[in-house]
């Protein structure tokens, strides 16, 4: 119990340090958004976006109230990171808005097994598909990177 509290505290400290570093430092590189800033502020969005989306998705699905503030579709109206050709990238691309943070904190996002990860109208390539599950295409790369890291670490010892 105490150990888990300690660990949680440690993570919180590290995380706040990371956020304090901002864009240039150790933190994730967050793609520029278009449109107006959230009135709630970025810190609020970072902390609460999943709760907001979760709440509003249930209101939408169960009660049929479809003009909700927090919807995935709404996110991508401003947060559609684009590739060299100016096409919004899908979640399969590491530059995707959601991935920029979620890769950093190693939290797997379940949303895009079912939801599209680009604005409506963008043609999503099939690579987007096989993202879910244990054997994701990035698994090989991840394992490779881990092995390389451990190798370098060992050499450094």
Partner 1 sequence: MAIDRTLYREVPATGALWGAGLLLAAFLVAGLASFLYVEHHGHVVTGMTNQVVWGMPHVFAIFLIVAASGALNVASMASVFDKVAYKPLSRLSGILAISLLAGGLLVLVLDLGRPDRLLVQLTHFNFSSIFTWNILLYSGFIAVVAVYLWVQMDRTVHPKWTKPAGVLAFVWRLALTTGTGSIFGWLVARPGYDAAIMAPLFIAMSFALGLAVYVLVLQALCALSGRALGPERVSGMIRLLGLFVAAVLYFTAVQHLTNLYAMEHKGFERFILMDGGVYTTLFWGVQVLLGGLVPLAMIYAGKASRPVMPTLVSALVILGGLAQIYVIVIGGQVYPMELFPGYSVSSDFFDGAIAAYTPSLPEILLGLGGVAFALVATGVGAKVLRVLPSNLSDSNPVTKG
Partner 2 sequence: MSCGAKKDVSRRDFLRSGAALATMQLAPGVTLMAFGGSEAQAAADAGKRWGLLIDASKCAPDCNACITACQDENGWKGSGNAETDVQWIRKVTLKDKSSGRETSLPVMCQHCESPPCVDVCPTGASFKRKDGIVLVDKHICIGCRYCMMACPFKARSFVHEHVTNQKTHAPRGIGTVESCTLCVHRVDEGRIPACVEACEATGHGAMVFGDLLDPESEISRRLAEYPSVALRPDLDLNPGVRYREI
Segment lying near partner 1 (by CB under 8 A), choices 1-9, 13-21, 36-44, 127-135: 127-135
Given 38, 82, 102, 115, the residue binding partner 2 (CB under 8 A): 115
Q: Which is nearer to partner 1, 28 or 132 (CB)?
A: 132
> Is 26 an interacting residue with respect to partner 2 (CB under 8 A)?
no
Selected range binding partner 1 among 42-50, 51-59, 83-91, 126-134, rule: CB under 8 A: 126-134
Conformational region of residue 106, where left means phi above 0, alpha means psi within -120 to 50, and beta covers everything else = left
57 lies in the site for partner 2, by CB under 8 A? yes
Window 57 to 116, contacts with partner 1 (CB under 8 A): 110
49 three-class SS: helix
Q: Which secondary structure element, helix H or strand E, spans residue 55, and what is its range?
A: helix 42-63
CA dist., res. 121 & res. 54, Å (int): 24
Structural tokens at position 69: 């503030």
Q: By C-alpha distance, which of 152, 83, 93 is closest to 128?
A: 93
Interaction site with partner 2 (CB under 8 A): 57, 61-67, 72-73, 77, 90, 113-116, 119-121, 123-126, 128-130, 132
């Amino acid at each position: 119990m105490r150990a888990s509290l300690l660990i949680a505290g440690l993570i919180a400290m590290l995380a706040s340090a990371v956020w304090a570093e901002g864009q240039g430092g150790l933190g994730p590189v967050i793609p520029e958004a278009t449109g107006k800033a959230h009135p709630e502020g970025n810190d609020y969005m970072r902390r609460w976006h999943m709760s907001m989306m979760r709440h509003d998705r249930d209101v939408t699905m169960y009660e049929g109230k479809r003009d909700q503030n927090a919807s995935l579709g709404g996110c991508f109206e401003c947060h559609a990171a684009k590739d060299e050709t100016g096409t919004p990238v899908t979640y399969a691309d590491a530059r995707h808005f959601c991935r920029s943070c979620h890769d950093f904190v190693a939290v797997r996002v379940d949303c895009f097994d079912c939801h599209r990860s680009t604005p409506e109208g963008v043609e999503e390539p099939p690579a987007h598909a096989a993202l879910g599950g244990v054997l994701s295409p990035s698994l090989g790369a991840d394992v490779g990177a881990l092995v390389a890291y451990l190798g370098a670490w060992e050499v450094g010892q």
